[in-house]
Structure 1
Amino acid sequence: MSIKVGDRIPEFQTTDANGAVFSINTLLGKKPLVLYFYPKDDTPGCTKEACAFRDSYEDFSDLGAEIIGISGDSSTSHQKFASRYKLPFILLADKGNVIRKQFGVPTNLLGLLPGRVTYIVDRAGIVRLVFNSRNASQHMPKALEAIRSMK
């Protein structure tokens, strides 16, 4: 079962790039969210996607939105990735792909690679856009357009 437009996102808790416990409840009700699931730190497509979100981070911030990247990589991997590319947003470690499964994010390439899906979530925790594309360069513009349309 996958999360679709109009659904409330599931509550979840995990660790961030610093190894600190992160609960989605700390942001729900406060600001719109861009939750983007990506396959792996430091791969060409994922780096391109992360840097696109980084380069537009101020645009999202000005609109009151928070960006959160989620992959199955460890907190240590996320910390290195964020440091190397100066990523100003939250990266979450999804050990065992638990959050990915809660959202129903599909896998690609015969189930070998984790999928790339972006969810735009309003302040109330309701999904307003689900964008599923292997094309990493399309996620940031779609997310920014959706956040702008919520204003």
Structure 2
Amino acid sequence: MTSIPENIPAPVDDGACDHLRGQALPNVTLTSSEGRPVNVGSLAGTVVLYFYPRTGRPDRPSPDGWAQIPGALGCTPQACAFRDHHRELTDLGVQVFGVSTQDSGYQQEAVDRLGISFELLSDENLALAQALELPLFTVEGVTLNKRVTLIAKDGEIQKVFYPVFPPDDHVYEVIDWLKDSSR
């Protein structure tokens, strides 16, 4: 699925990310879909970190009621949108990382299947989510990220997008903000 259906419930801004702007990215090391360690706090330049709940797999069903959870549906379309605009983002001097609580093997499957041209970072132990106090939710006993996008420059969070909806069009908001902030 590369777009989301109409009439799905939209998430609401509950203030869970109000504290993030101006905060430093913490020195938390995550494993990337390439299997390498990435220390988020040492990422230089402009970085987009988009947090998403989970990518689905064709051979596994989504959790029961997934489409009715506000903001849950749309991870694959969001990843594909960032993939499709990755060149434009890198031309703006930006590094892009997707972040979920799925393990790096699961993420590597998504990278391969979807042709994603950037790394996904595994926060399966919730180290980054806890350090940043990100909003989370639990489905079928699994803790997942709510959808949030952070733009950091030289380690400081400059922009927070929360809630993110619709996720398949969100990349345009990110690109517009990056272009406006560089003027």
Normalised by the shorter chain, which TM-score bucket? 0.7 to 0.9
Aligned partners of 1:58, 1:75: CA distance in 2, in Å? Answer: 23
Aligned partners of 1:88, 1:95: CA distance in 2, in Å? Answer: 21
1:76 corresponds to: 105
Partner SS for 2:125: helix
The one of 145, 156, 168 aligned to 1:137: 168
* Number of equivalences: 148
- Counterpart check, 1:21 vs 2:37: yes
Segments of 5+ residues of structure 2 without an aligned counterpart are 1-15, 58-72
2:55 corresponds to: 41
Segments of 5+ residues of structure 1 without an aligned counterpart are none
Over aligned residue pairs, what C-alpha RMSD do you find?
2.3
- Give the structure with the higher percent helix: 1
Which consecutive aligned stretches of 4+ in structure 1 deviate over 3 angstroms post-superposition?
108-113
- Counterpart check, 1:32 vs 2:62: no
Partner SS for 1:47: helix
Aligned partners of 1:89, 1:50: CA distance in 2, in Å? Answer: 10
1:50 corresponds to: 79
Q: TM-score, normalised by structure 1?
A: 0.86
Q: TM-score, normalised by structure 2?
A: 0.72
Higher-Rg structure is 2
Partner SS for 1:95: coil
Aligned partners of 2:39, 2:23: CA distance in 1, in Å? Answer: 19
* Percent of aligned pairs sharing the same letter: 28
CA contact (8 A) 2:33 2:120 kept: yes
Aligned partners of 1:77, 1:113: CA distance in 2, in Å? Answer: 14
* Alpha carbons of structure 1 residues 142 and 6: separation in structure 2 relative to 1, 3 Å: same
